[in-house]
Chain A
C-alpha cells in the first residue's frame, strides 16, 4: 500500500469537515437549552410534546401502509414480468424510474387537481392521497431492491418446482418467492420508511399531521428543539441506512438517492 499524499489527506479532511461540522454544530446547539450547561433538556421537551408523539406516530402508520402497498404493487408485478411478460420489462422499469424525475411538488400539484374534487374528494380529505403519493415515490427504491432480489434467485426453476408439487400461483408467490427475497424486501422497506418519515413536501401541501411539517412548525416557535429534532431525524436516517447496509451486499454506486429534498 502506497502512502497517502498530503493533497489526498487534505481533501479527506475537507470532506470530513463538511460532513461533520453541521452535525456537530446541530448537536452542540441542541444540548444548550439550559443556560451555561450542556444537557438533554431540549430532547426531553421534544419527547414530552404531544404533537411530536402524534405526528411521529402518524408518519409511522403512513410509512407502514406505504411499505405494504408498495410491496403488494411491485413484487407480484416484478415476478410476473420476469416469469411471463419479459417484453413489458423496459416499460415497467421506465415507469418505476419516473418518480425520480418528477419533483414532489409537481406530482402533488397534478394529484390534487384531479383527486381534490368530486367524486374523489375523499382522497384529499383522508390521508389516502398522501399514501398514494408516498407509494409513487417509493416505487424506484422498492423496484430496484426487489429486482436485485429476484435476479439473485432462479424465478423460473423455483416456480416450476413449486407448481410441479401442486402449488397454486398465489401460493408460489407468497410461500416461495417472498421468503426468498426477504432481504431485498427489507432493504426496500427501510428506504421507504426513511423517505416517508422525513417527507415534508407532500405532507405540508396536502396538510397532513405528519412528522415533516411538525419539524418545520416547531422552528417558528422554539429555539433549541428544532436542533434536537434534526438530530433525532438524522439518527433515524442513520438507522435505516445502517440496517440496509447490514442487510444487503449492495455494491457501492448502487446506493440509492432518497429523501425529501
Chain B
C-alpha cells in the first residue's frame, strides 16, 4: 500500500530541470566558483579585488552612467509620449500606430540599429546634415556618435518605445473619476498631479526606469557595432576575455561576469518589488 503513496508526477519536469541546470545554473555556478579561484586552483579574493582596479571600476562606472542616462532619457520621453497618446487625447489611429511601432522598435537593436544611427547622426548622417543647415554643427560642438552621448541616443531608440509600452497601462488606469473628484473639491491641475496622479504613477515610473536600466546595462551588440569596441563597457570587456587574447585570465573574467550578474540581480529585485506595488493600483 505504501508504495502507492509515492508521487511520481515530478518526473515530468525533470527534462526541463536538467536543461536549466546544465545550461543556466552550472555555468552560473562555474562563474561564481571561478571568481574565487586563482591560477593554481587555490581560493583567492584577488579576482574580486581586481574589479576595483581603476580601469575596471571605470568600465563599470561608464556602463552604469550610460545605462542611467539612456533609461532617464528613454523613460521621460516615453512617459511624455505615452501621456500624449493616452491622456492627451490622440486620435485612435495615431495611438494604434505608435503602439504597434513601439512593439517593433523595442525589438530593433543590435547591429542594424547601430547602422541606422550612423546614417542619422554620423558625420555624414541625415540629422547631422539637417542640423548643419539650421546652423548647428554638432561635431564642431564636441558630439561624437561613438562616445557617451552617441551611445545614449542610440540606446534611447529601443528604450523609449519600451517605456511607451510599459507606461500605457498605468496611464490608462488613472481613472477619470479621480480627476473629477479632485476638481469638484477645488483642486487645480497642478494639485491633482502633485497629490494624486504622480503618487499613483510613481512606482510605475521607478519600475520602468529600473527595467530600462537593466535593458541598457546588458547591451552588447549595439555598443560593439557602434563603437567597434572603442568604449570600455563591461559587456565588451567580458567579451574580450572570451575571445581569448593572450592576456586572458579566466578567474578575472568570471569575476567580471559575476559583477554583472550581481548588478542585474539587484536591478531585477528592485523591479519586482515595485511591480507588486504598481499592480495594486491597476486592479
The B interface is mostly helix, strand or loop, or mixed, namely helix
**Residues of chain A with a CB closer than 8 A to B77's CB:** 11, 14-15, 18
Partner of B119, one of A25, A114, A261: A25
For the complex, is A226 an interface residue (Cβ under 8 Å from B)?
yes
Most chain A CB inside 10 Å of its own CB: which residue of B109, B112, B160 = B112
- Docked complex Cα distance between A51 and B200 (Å): 53
- Docked complex Cα distance between A261 and B226 (Å): 12
**Chain A 147-182 interface 0/1 with B at a Cβ cutoff of 8 Å (1 = within):** 000000000000000000000000000000000000
- 25 pairs from A and B in contact (CB 8 Å cutoff): A4-B90, A15-B164, A21-B120, A26-B119, A26-B120, A29-B119, A76-B12, A107-B27, A109-B257, A111-B23, A113-B30, A113-B34, A212-B110, A227-B116, A229-B112, A237-B107, A237-B108, A241-B103, A241-B107, A245-B100, A252-B169, A253-B168, A255-B103, A260-B110, A261-B158
For the complex, is A205 an interface residue (Cβ under 8 Å from B)?
yes
Partner of B221, one of A28, A76, A100, A201: A201
Which residues of A (59-104) have their CB < 8 Å from a CB of B? 73-74, 76-77, 80-81, 84-85, 88, 92, 95, 98-104
**Chain A 220-261 interface 0/1 with B at a Cβ cutoff of 8 Å (1 = within):** 000000110111011001101110110000011101011111
Residue of A nearest to B259 (CB): A106
Q: A-B pairs with the 10 shortest C-beta distances?
A: A110-B27, A8-B88, A103-B218, A25-B126, A230-B112, A261-B219, A8-B84, A15-B81, A80-B12, A200-B221
For the complex, is B75 an interface residue (Cβ under 8 Å from A)?
no
- Docked complex Cα distance between A135 and B100 (Å): 26
Assess the A73–B10 pair: CB atoms within 8 A: no
Assess the A88–B10 pair: CB atoms within 8 A: yes
Residues of B within 8 A of A (CB): 9-10, 12-13, 15-16, 19-20, 23-24, 26-28, 30-31, 34, 77, 80-81, 83-85, 88-91, 94, 98-113, 115-120, 125-127, 156-158, 160-162, 164-166, 168-169, 214-222, 224-225, 235, 238-239, 241-243, 250, 253-254, 257, 260-261, 264-265, 267-268
CB distance from A69 to the nearest CB of B (A): 9
Q: What would 20 more interface pairs be, CB under 8 Å, given A101-B218, A230-B115?
A: A15-B81, A25-B125, A28-B119, A76-B12, A101-B265, A106-B31, A109-B241, A109-B253, A110-B26, A112-B242, A132-B23, A136-B24, A200-B110, A212-B221, A234-B104, A237-B108, A252-B169, A253-B165, A260-B109, A261-B221
Partner of B112, one of A29, A99, A103, A234: A234
- Docked complex Cα distance between A110 and B250 (Å): 10
For the complex, is A9 an interface residue (Cβ under 8 Å from B)?
yes
Assess the B89–A1 pair: CB atoms within 8 A: yes
CB distance from B159 to the nearest CB of A (A): 10
**Residues of chain A with a CB closer than 8 A to B19's CB:** 73, 135
The number of A-B residue pairs with CB atoms under 8 Å apart is 279
Residues of A within 8 A of B (CB): 1-5, 7-12, 14-16, 18-19, 21-26, 28-29, 73-74, 76-77, 80-81, 84-85, 88, 92, 95, 98-114, 132-133, 135-136, 194, 198, 200-201, 204-205, 212, 215-216, 219, 226-227, 229-231, 233-234, 237-238, 240-242, 244-245, 251-253, 255, 257-261
**Residues of chain B with a CB closer than 8 A to A100's CB:** 268
Assess the B111–A215 pair: CB atoms within 8 A: yes
Assess the B242–A205 pair: CB atoms within 8 A: yes
Partner of B106, one of A15, A22, A253, A255: A255
Most chain B CB inside 10 Å of its own CB: which residue of A76, A81, A132, A237 = A237
CB distance from B153 to the nearest CB of A (A): 9
- Docked complex Cα distance between A240 and B103 (Å): 10
**Residues of chain A with a CB closer than 8 A to B31's CB:** 106, 109-110, 113
**Residues of chain A with a CB closer than 8 A to B23's CB:** 111, 132-133, 135-136
Assess the A80–B13 pair: CB atoms within 8 A: yes
- Docked complex Cα distance between A1 and B81 (Å): 18
Partner of A226, one of B27, B100, B115: B115
**Residues of chain B with a CB closer than 8 A to A241's CB:** 100, 103-104, 107
Residue of B nearest to A200 (CB): B221
Residue of A nearest to B18 (CB): A73
**Residues of chain B with a CB closer than 8 A to A101's CB:** 214, 218, 264-265, 267-268
Assess the B168–A252 pair: CB atoms within 8 A: yes
State whether A113 and B115 are in contact (beta carbons under 8 Å apart), knowing that A80-B12, A85-B12, A205-B243 are contacts in the complex: no
State whether A15 and B214 are in contact (beta carbons under 8 Å apart), knowing that A21-B127, A99-B24, A105-B239 are contacts in the complex: no
Assess the B264–A103 pair: CB atoms within 8 A: yes
Assess the B24–A105 pair: CB atoms within 8 A: no
**Residues of chain B with a CB closer than 8 A to A229's CB:** 112, 115
**Residues of chain B with a CB closer than 8 A to A260's CB:** 109-110, 220-221
State whether A114 and B16 are in contact (beta carbons under 8 Å apart), knowing that A103-B264, A104-B218 are contacts in the complex: no
